[in-house]
Amino acid sequence: MGGGPAGATTALLLARGGAAVLLLDRARFPRDKPCSEYLSPATTPILERLGAGVLAAIEGAAHAKLYGMKVVAPSGVAMCGRFASDHGHVPRRPYSFALSRARFDAILLRAAERAGAVIQEGVAVDDLVWDRGSVAGVVARSCDGQRVTCNARVVVGADGLHSVVARRLGLVRTSPPRRIAFTAHVTDVAGVDGVGELHVGERGYVGLGPIGGGVTTVALVVPRAAVRRRRQDFRAGFFAELERYPALSGRFERRRLVRDVLATGPFGQWARRPAVDGALLVGDAADFFDPFTGQGIYSALRGAELAADCLVPGLARGVLTPCPPLRSGEGGRHEFPLSLRERGPGGEDPSREAVRSLSGPLPATMLEPYVRARRREFAGKCLADLLVGATGNFVPARRVLAPSVLAQLLW
Ligand SMILES: Cc1cc2nc3c(=O)[nH]c(=O)nc-3n(C[C@H](O)[C@H](O)[C@H](O)COP(=O)(O)OP(=O)(O)OC[C@H]3O[C@@H](n4cnc5c(N)ncnc54)[C@H](O)[C@@H]3O)c2cc1C
């Protein structure tokens, strides 16, 4: 269920592994998705592994290359970290890609189709089918209102932030901060260069970056309470809100808005477990805390790889359990266990750990007060590179959390 990055990649890998895959999405592609549209550097090796011409298609589409990230505190103080640095962790390329989600998601979906997945667009899933305590399929509704039941040995819930699968499984949990995002495509934004920008304000933040073709994606994220308090539609006040950020003031021309402002949220939603008998959750459906660090697409693609690693051998054997135990993955992290029945070797519920490790080493809740509190220039360029590398998923979190680095950050 769901043809975004998580669903399309899972479908591609399962189809390539020999499974019969039916992918349902309520949207018709290409479709827009509220997002800052930046692929963190660790996403590139996954795209290379996927093959199927995906990376070549991205390179052939309108896109931008980002060489780092600039974080600007409310006072206007900025730190800029580069992906290529001398801190000892080298990304595959010194840049990451940024392109419209309409284009990126369609590239992945068509690659899944070429791999053999059957794609049905304009079909919304409403409910799950159960058989003796296990999930055994879905009930879907096409755009002309026809209801159909699709039986499946495994249902993969890749249906995003407000996942129907996660809700029907009763797994959804929420946690603060609960925020709403508004995203726009604007042309001719002044001062945009080869880095992404993150402007932290007193009551929210703005992420922006080029995505090719002269277009900049601008994402404004604010607390849900602030949106509720406003009588007027927040989208109408989008540009006025941007003017509150000192380093954004005067950079936008509202006539250059080339797509309607899209809204999404609230975030801070996660599933108690990523898998139950007959079903598992991948991407935002499993977990989405906040878009602050721009790691969601990486998590979606990596989660899809791990899901396929688990499901392909199980489907081939005709047995979906037992699944692999917790194993140490890239960078020594514990990876998504994706056990359909089992718990970790120590009997622990591994889902939170997995979900946390996949959802990024430096959650916004850690970075935000820090950036907010700083009133002077960030100490040392390499430190900024390290932080940006950690949020780009190619510097292990333990490097940033080492006492020597923390000491430098705090004093
Ligand atoms: C403001 C904002 C900025 C972000 N910026 C970045 C960024 O710069 N970089 C980054 O890596 N991540 C970013 N993210 C996160 C990123 O957008 C998500 O993590 C990513 O889209 C997750 O992919 P997914 O496939 O799990 O879900 P989605 O991309 O949401 O795809 C889910 C699909 O499921 C379909 N669907 C939903 N319900 C149903 C249903 N009932 N039946 C059938 N189909 C259904 C939808 O139509 C959709 O196509 C941002 C998110 C937000 C909100």
Assign 3-state DSSP to the chain and report helix, strand, coil percentages, each to 5.
Answer: 30, 25, 40
Please enumerate in sequence order all residues whose Cβ is within 8 A of that of 144, keeping only pairs 6 or more positions apart, or say none. none
The conformational region for residue 85 under phi > 0 = left, psi -120 to 50 = alpha, else beta, is beta
Better-predicted residue by pLDDT, 195 or 378: 195
Q: Does the structure show a pLDDT above 70 at 351?
A: no
**What is the pTM assigned to this prediction?**
0.88
- Dump pLDDT digits (tens) for 201-233: 888 899 999 999 999 999 999 999 888 887 778
- Residue 324 DSSP symbol: P
Structure confidence at residue 102 as a pLDDT band (50, 70, 90): very high
pLDDT digits (tens, 9 = 90+) for 130-146: 999 999 999 999 988 99
* pLDDT attached to residue 202: 82
Within 6 A (CB) of ligand 1 lie: 1-7, 24-27, 33-38, 40, 124-125, 158-160, 164, 181, 183, 219, 264, 283-285, 288, 291, 294-298, 300
Averaging pLDDT over each range in 19-23, 264-268, 305-309, which range is the top one? Answer: 19-23
Residue 25, pLDDT above cutoff 90: yes
Q: Which residue has the higher pLDDT, 9 or 269?
A: 9
Residue 274's pLDDT is 85
Can you give the pLDDT at residue 409? 67
Residue 266 preceded by cis peptide, ω within 30? yes
CA–CA dist 350, 195 (Å, integer)? 36
CA atoms of 358 and 42, how far apart (whole Å): 12
pLDDT above 80: residue 321: no
Q: Which of 297, 298, 302 to mutate to test the pocket of ligand 1 (most atoms within 8 A of CB)?
A: 297
Q: What pLDDT was estimated at residue 219?
A: 97
Share the mean pLDDT of the chain: 84
**The amino acid at 19:** A
**Gap from CA of 300 to ligand 1 centroid (Å):** 9
Q: Is 261 exposed, middle or buried (0-12, 13-18, 19+ CB in 10 A)?
A: buried
Contact 7, 25 (CB under 8 A): yes
With 80 as the cut, is the pLDDT of residue 339 above it? no
Q: What is the largest CA-CA distance in the chain?
A: 63
